[in-house]
Amino acid sequence: MDWLQLFFLHPVSLYQGAAFPFALLFNYLCTMDSFSTPARYLFLLAGGGALAWAAMGSFAVLVLIPALCAGVLISFLGPQDVHRWAFFFQMSWQTLCHLGLHYTEYYLQERPSMRFCITLSSLMLLTQRVTSLSLDLCEGKVKAEARGIRGRSSVLERLWKTLPYFSYLLFFPALLGGSLCSFQRFQARVQGSSSLGPRCSVWALTRMGLQILGLECLKVVLRKVVGAGAGLTDCRQLQCIRVMWSTAELFKLTYYSCWILDDALLHAAGFGPEFGQSPAREGYVPDADIWTLETTHRISLFTRKWNQSTAGWLRRLIFQHSRAWPLLQTFAFSAWWHGLHPGQVFGFLCWALMVEADYLIHTFANLSIRSWPMQLLYRTVTWAHTQLIIAYIMLAVEVRSLSSLWLLCNSYNSVFPMVYCILLFLLAKRKHKLT
């Protein structure tokens, strides 16, 4: 395996790496007084268009069209209507594109184009930014100034006023990956004073680079272990548990590496936290909290920390607006947003049940377990069980064929979520009797 493969095993990472010099250039230009605010918006927008064309080819129009339509909706609709129409159009467009992927994979039995897969990934991120911005407008956190313009030149002036929106929807550091950046944060960064100097830390970028290198080295070792043993199709009995865990860990390492690279690109462009400031204080939410994800004994905490910015977006978009079964609605929407593959539907619904069981189990345990040795034993057992359930869910979500999903469900691995389902039933019945 050469060094290029070691660092950039995921196709998107190649394009993210290629965008780094331009992110650093943008950060440097922002220190110059001559680099005006409109020029900054145009630089980010032009960079997004160039990166989209390089990574997606002709499929880039599938991202540019909804971004243009979202800008038009924001310009001409009132605050109370913009979110409903933006959400409806964006999810309808994304669903049609996902149906194209389903047609290629399941009907034609062909492998989809890598550029098309990158386009779908970028489209999902665009949906996050569109709905986040439309919610901000609906809630009054952002004022749409374009609607206040009238007269002959209103069309041109509206287009000029919507430049920040188009730039936000397509700015290149977040086009292919990265934590969800709110429009307020984006606008504050772009309009920031040039006297502040470069808005990224060399030490922070170096630390992220070392983290990526370490994760990629672990992936190489784990890939050899996974490749040397039996697979899910030919494993036997308890051996399938090891196969499931090691394969899921390989997926997790890939996610961690990609998330850190994406955050590094945002940081290089000046959209990360200020030097010396805590990310949470500035509203910046990094996606990878590896320590918590690997050490927690609670599925609910893992769920909140896994891809944190997306979890927060789902909570705001669905959970907080659901009157009945908010948890189930949130995971069902997540399956829709991811593309509604059979494994995703099964995996996310299973995940919802596991989170619900987690709440009841730990509430009961906190009331029942008092001694220190029993608490230690309880945390150890629930940590192992949590990691195995997450591995089960991750494999279910990642598999594409019904036959692979059936192999997973028909293996010994199904014991782990089944235990939580039984406990969910018993504890829910007990809670109902007490109330």
Torsions phi, psi for 386 (to 5 deg): -60, -45
Counting every residue, how long is the chain?
435
- Indicate if 297 belongs to the active site: no
Catalytic site residue from 338, 341, 366, 413: 338
Our measurement of the distance from residue 110's CA atom to the centroid of its chain's CA atoms, rounded to an integer in Å, reads: 26
Kindly write down the DSSP assignment for every residue of 175-221, as one continuous string.
TSS-----HHHHHHHHTS-GGG---S-HHHHHHHHHHHHHHHHHHHH
Question: Which of 60, 268, 272 lies closest to 176, judged by CA?
Answer: 60
- Indicate if 338 belongs to the active site: yes
Taking phi over 0 as left and psi of -120 to 50 as alpha, with beta for the rest, 295 belongs to alpha
Residues in CB range of 326: below 8 A, 6 or more apart:
318, 319, 320
User: Scanning the structure block, which residue is given the tokens 């995971």?
Assistant: 331
Number of other CB atoms surrounding residue 37 within 10 Å: 14
Catalytic site residue from 27, 83, 267, 307: 307
Torsions phi, psi for 190 (to 5 deg): -70, -40
Residues known to be catalytic: 307, 338
